[in-house]
Amino acid sequence: MSARRAINLGLIGVGTVGSGVARILAEKHDVYARVLGCPLVLKSALVRDLAKPRPGLPPGHREILTSNPDDVLDDPDIEIIVEVWVGEHPAFEFISRALEAGKYVVTANKEVMAKHGSHLVALARERGVDILFEASVGGGIPIIAPLKRDLLANRVLALSAIINGTTNYILTAMTRDNADFADALRAAQGLGYAEADPSNDIEGEDARYKLAILASLAFRGQVRVEDIYREGITRLTARDFRYARELGYAIKLLALAREVEAGVQARVHPAFVPLDEPLAKVDGVLNAVQVEGDLSGKVLFQGRGAGSLPTTSAVIADVLDAAQSIIGGRRQVHAREESVTAIVPMSELRTRYYIRLTVADQPGVLAQIARILGEGNISISSVIQKEADEDAQTAELVIMTHLAKEASMLEAIRLLENLKPVQAIGSFIRVEHQ
Amino acid sequence: MSARRAINLGLIGVGTVGSGVARILAEKHDVYARVLGCPLVLKSALVRDLAKPRPGLPPGHREILTSNPDDVLDDPDIEIIVEVWVGEHPAFEFISRALEAGKYVVTANKEVMAKHGSHLVALARERGVDILFEASVGGGIPIIAPLKRDLLANRVLALSAIINGTTNYILTAMTRDNADFADALRAAQGLGYAEADPSNDIEGEDARYKLAILASLAFRGQVRVEDIYREGITRLTARDFRYARELGYAIKLLALAREVEAGVQARVHPAFVPLDEPLAKVDGVLNAVQVEGDLSGKVLFQGRGAGSLPTTSAVIADVLDAAQSIIGGRRQVHAREESVTAIVPMSELRTRYYIRLTVADQPGVLAQIARILGEGNISISSVIQKEADEDAQTAELVIMTHLAKEASMLEAIRLLENLKPVQAIGSFIRVEHQ
């Protein structure tokens, strides 16, 4: 079909993922050449520090390393750039230069795609090329391409996802070991599942980037990172996990986006998930994304959301796709996605709530609490009184509500905090039925 | 991007799926036109009987119906043929004619794709077009495109799937209601989940077609339908479901394909599935496909495997893809898949087994049974003696084995059947740990 002798790649970043990509391209050279009808050749690779040892790199690859971006980005023989640098800058500038030069770009960079995806896709279209980012969300799970292609006939009604492996590992450990957050985090750090500075993961920022990417595709208009409500997992306690299980729920860090009358809701926060729903069973470092389409119904995609090999699987799938576009002479056709999706303020949310309070163990307290909730139009679905502490003369109350408005709930929480017999609001967690 | 005024479609078959496709194309006309930059127009539709009422068809569509295939297949203005006829003939001939004429084909026809997919893909390539068949397996679940594109960087190690909604509905009902097969089938027929003649589903033939399609893609060489071992669900009893649950398993009709040293195993049969594995939780009319890649690890795709709207979701995704190829001027690049995948004979299989026997309730029987199994190199992992029938002086034995070779197991079963104290082999079910 093609008289091409090879398609040359340039690699930007040779860390864990970059080395994995280089190694698999070398190991599977012949397989990929058969798929395409011509070989893929990794021609040069940009690193920050040429002197650093790179044990993961396959034999014979040291000579393609360079610390000069021009060697990769200005090489006219290179048609596809694989960007696996970390962080926003200078990755964004590298990608922009590559697209400007009419090169295809394959990226795993969720921060750049979350913040600049709309601009970069438009730039790629303008230059008649494409930017592919399957590896930016969900590691080896196909989810970007399914949203762009396979579910394109649908109007997406909702996305519900577990897309941060570190927090899911920690939450699974808290459930299994009845551990507190700090202990579970330390254990995860010891095993390499959490970084020394874990804040991006545990505060939900990583999940927010990924949700911005997914929701922008699903709702066909840019969902801005800063419009997504975000709450991390640091305040969860072993006690909440115990109550959750008793009540028939798991606790997960969910990334949710849903079409409602006034626009789209988009939020990342810990949530009670009913144990019989698929997302409740996504444990450890697994990731899962559930997409509800008006035609397809609910479709679940589940697998390993991180790691060098799963990410390499996604990166090379995009490389092969880009190479096929180059060989097939395809001009890119994109859905027009230049609008910004209006995100409904969090105060407008209607959901269910779990509240745990420590109260004075005396008559009439529940009546006072129920009155405050009732005045906010919040109806109670169940109350459990737990573990009276005889010394302190306190009791613990666990309240589950029916659907209520977030603004009313926050106001009720404020009033409850000021109620004399209420000593503390221990937790306040949204309950999400998909 | 394009000066095209429209892309014309022809529809072959206007049953439940065909009417659904026509209705959604009409309802979402403007959305799809925005996605493509030009409208999709359903120009003509082939039916067997013009007089038949078609209440599912959208308004204004009766005038595009024709009973003459030439009106659809010879129309040079039609660039994409959507084939949702049922059965092998004349659908195969319609598709061949369309491809010969240089039209793209989108089909939901699993029988044609299972039997003739390799030939039709080659024909499409020869004519510079494509044949797309996402709707042939798994209804609204994206699985064909992920295997063709998103997991292309992988060597597929194994496929494990629940891909027949009728049998899964029946098996779920048998589990839930502790019903026997005949009763569960009748109930499913009453609800429209099983056809009046259900043999294609309950004997595993439908699942075999779908596995042939998936495995041919996964292992990059044609997997012939007749090479796939097939066993239906008709001999399962309520008793087996009770024992399965006690032992920690669900019973599912699995479609399995796995790379082993000597080639690829491919089989469809009922199996014990450990309750903590994802496939054990796929209930009712849901379908799920688990793909294990050497890079991606295990990836699960789950959703509604049948129904007019989910199938329409898949059909229109393929139509939009074909339309983008036409607009973008893409020449098709396909992996070369003309080889035939060698399927290892079933006798070479190594797996675990569940055997239920009725034996004379007398001393020494278990020793005789254990000796026969031992001579076949089959080691027992557990034995439970159940429900002695005092009147008949019989007992029921449930045996679970460790990994054993199928040929040895069948020989052992033959010997057990001839053993005097063995009155009946009640069941013999493979136990599959993924």
Looking at the structure, tell me whether residues A91 and A21 fall in a common domain.
yes
Is residue B342 included in any domain, yes or no?
A: no
Is A420 in the B-facing interface, judged by CB distances under 8 Å?
no
Q: Residue A394's domain is classified under what CATH number?
A: 3.30.70.260
The answer to whether A32 faces chain B, any CB pair under 8 Å, is: yes
| CA-to-CA separations, B346 to B342, B404, B430, B432, in angstroms, rounded | 12, 13, 12, 15
Answer whether B16 touches A (CB < 8 Å): no
A117 occurs within a structural domain: yes
CA distance B43 to B61: 9
Q: Write the CATH number for B26.
A: 3.40.50.720
**Contact (CB, 8 A) for B36 and B7:** yes
A300:B295 CB<8 A: no
Q: Which residues pair with A343 in a beta bridge?
A: A264
In a domain, B120, yes or no: yes
Nearest to A295 among B24, B141, B298 (CB): B24
Question: Is residue B405 in some structural domain?
Answer: yes
B152 with B251, same domain?
A: yes
What is the C-alpha separation between A427 and A431, in angstroms, rounded?
12
Give me the domain span that covers residue B63: 7-139+308-328
Q: Give alpha helix (H) positions in A131-180.
A: 144-145, 165-177
- Measure the CA–CA gap between B6 and B12, rounded to whole angstroms: 20
Using the predicted structure, report yes or no on whether residue A86 has a pLDDT greater than 80. yes
Sign of CA dihedral B346, B349, B354, B358: positive
pLDDT tops 90 at residue A42: yes
Q: Do A77 and A208 share a domain, yes or no?
A: no
User: What is this model's ipTM?
Assistant: 0.96
Q: CA-CA distance, B339 to A204, in Å (whole number)?
A: 48
State the total domains in chain B: 3
Q: What is the pLDDT of residues A198-226, one digit of tens each?
A: 999 999 999 999 999 999 999 999 999 99
Residue contact B34–A328, C-beta within 8 A: no
Residues B70 and B180 in one domain: no
Q: What per-residue confidence (pLDDT) applies to B390?
A: 84
- Restricting to B residues 254-283, those with a Cβ less than 8 Å away from any Cβ of A are 278, 281
Does one domain contain both A45 and A121? Answer: yes
Helix (H) or strand (E) holding A72: helix A69-73
Instruction: Pick the last residue of a domain from A272, A288, A304.
Output: A304
DSSP state of B21: H
Nearest 5°: CA angle at B315, between A278 and B227?
A: 80
Instruction: Report yes or no: B302 at the A interface, CB cutoff 8 Å.
Output: yes
Task: Please tell me if residue A320 touches chain B, with a CB cutoff of 8 Å.
Answer: yes
The pLDDT value given to residue B211: 98
Q: From the CA of A282, how many Å to the nearest CA of chain B?
A: 9
Torsion of CA A64, A70, A73, A77, to 10 degrees: -60
pLDDT the model gives residue B335? 55
Banded model confidence at residue A335, pLDDT cuts 50, 70, 90:
low
Query: 10-residue block means of pLDDT along chain B (434 residues)?
Result: 80 96 97 94 97 91 96 98 96 98 98 97 94 97 96 97 97 94 95 94 98 97 97 96 96 97 96 95 94 98 94 98 90 68 95 96 92 96 85 93 97 96 95 93
Pick B34's closest partner by Cβ from A139, A301, A336.
A336
Q: Are B336 and A293 in contact (CB < 8 Å)?
A: no
Same domain, A196 and A225: yes
Question: In this structure, are A62 and A78 located in the same domain?
Answer: yes
Residue A340 vs residues A118, A134, A215, A294, B269: alpha-carbon distances, Å: 9, 21, 11, 22, 50
Residues B153, B279 within the same domain = yes
Report the CATH number at residue A288. Answer: 3.30.360.10
CB pairs under 8 A between A and B: 192
Q: What is the pLDDT of residue B3?
A: 58
A210 is a catalytic site residue: yes
Are A313 and B327 inside 8 Å of each other by CB? no
- With CB atoms and an 8 Å threshold, state whether B295 touches A281: no
In this prediction, residue A334 has a pLDDT band, given cuts at 50, 70 and 90, of low
Q: How many CB atoms lie within 10 A of CB A419?
A: 16
Same domain, A200 and A87: no
Per-residue pLDDT band for A1 (boundaries 50, 70, 90) equals: very low
Is there a domain that residue A336 lies in? no
Average pLDDT for chain A: 94
Rounded CA-CA distance B204/B167 in Å is 8
B1 vs A: CB within 8 A = yes
**A395 and A386 in contact (C-beta within 8 Å)?**
yes
pLDDT at A140 (0 to 100): 94
In a domain, B340, yes or no: no
Q: State whether the Cα torsion A209-A214-A217-A222 is positive or negative.
A: negative
Statement to judge: residues A42 and A90 lie in one domain: yes
Domain-located, residue A339: no
Q: What backbone torsions phi and psi does residue B91 show, to the nearest 5 degrees? A: -60, -45
> Is the pLDDT reported for residue A38 higher than 90?
yes
In order of A74, B114, B268, the CA distances from B214 in angstroms are 42, 9, 13
B335 domain-assigned: no
Contact B295 A331 (CB under 8 A): no
The verdict on B109 and B158 lying in the same domain is no
Of B103, B115, B210, B252, the catalytic one is B210
Same domain? For B34 and B119 the reply is: yes
Q: Do B329 and A330 touch (CB under 8 A)?
A: yes
